[in-house]
Structure 1
Amino acid sequence: MFYWLMKYVVIGPLVKAIFRPWIVGRDNIPTSGAAILASNHLSFADSIFLPLMLDRRMSFLAKSDYFTGRGIKGWATKFFMSATGQLPIDRSGGKASEASLNTGLQVLGGGDLLGIYPEGTRSPDGRLYRGRTGIARMALEAKVPVIPVVMIDTDTAMPIGRRVPRVVRVGMVIGEPLDFSRYAGMENDRYILRSVTDEIMVALQRLGAQRYDDVYASSVKDRMPAPVR
């Protein structure tokens, strides 16, 4: 009930009135049943606009930092993330990655929609980067389709480092579902996982025409100079 109130009564109408977001391919979202929505990741705002524009409830796996902040700002961030269906995950790797996988599988096991950013982090420069194979493993274990989603101009509305968004019209394009049932039972084969992940990234690149670089976005960020304070 709380999620419904936030989406349809409080946050949703306000965001739609201000930013007038547009969507293409809404019919590619199934009316029932579990599916993974694989999106490019340009801005923090991606996790706000996409769920608001879908008729069904969906959850994103969000980094746990958004839920652990202190003070008024930390409380407000945690409240907003929880109200919009975000689920906290630890990105430190190892057992934390396994826990994240299990969290996603629980959502899919309940027949719901799960949003994942295959790149693992926001693009530092608007390009599309190499995908992490966790999405492939999740899709094969849960036996669900993967639906490519391209967010457009969210980085203009809210670039990295900006706290207050600009009023810019943003959009999203939803592609046709990708079926990986041919790989049933092969979720532990790392070559298959890489092949599935690469297929997802190709679909995203074709859908959005972003320039693709076959390196991890996190590696690009690590090489970037620290911001001047």
Structure 2
Amino acid sequence: MQLLLVEDDALLGDGIKEGLLDAGFVVEWLTDGQNAWHVLSQTHQFDAVVLDINLPRMDGLTLLRQLRGKGDAVPVILLTARSEIEQRIEGLNCGADDYLPKPFALGELTARLHALLRRSHGHADATLRWRNLSLNPGKQQVLLDNQHLELTATEYRLLYLLMANAPHYLSRPQLEEKLFGWQSELESNSLDVHLSHLRKKLGNDTIRNQRGLGWRMGEA
């Protein structure tokens, strides 16, 4: 649920970021290709990248080629002008997973991101399921025994991460970065507090912890 948005238009970038935050994503926003490449070439593990083609210092297609050249398979959605048909084709051939021509509806971008993330995790169904629990990312809805479950925004993101990655463990650094972003300063026990609150709402056996590995959903 951690996205990198690379868009140099301040007004558009701010609108996209706020909309994606409202949709439950953690969003890091950069405004030029060179800075984006620096971040993507480091250890940060983004779930998807929303990438404008026309960027200062390094254009989006060059960044995409370098990203795929180093073997990074992170899902990428290109943002393009409607007239850039050849660039859209080139972008897809370079390894982009999808594209959206500007102007676009934020709801469509959100839906496309959910579809990309679903495929990247190997899920055919739009709804994630575990025991008597279901989570619909498009609706940001969680049902427990078919009853709506009230979660905070952070609890919802935490549950999504655990369900989407089940049965694999997620380490503390992985969870903290995907929940709060790589530029956030956290209290040392922030993650533990949210895990504790989520367990109280779902049941103590819902989330399993293994020292040295991290956390995952319990046995289905």
Greater percentage in strand: 2
Q: What TM-score, normalized by structure 1, do the two folds share?
A: 0.30
Greater Rg over alpha carbons, structure: 2
Q: Which has the higher contact order (CA 8 A, sep 6+)?
A: 1
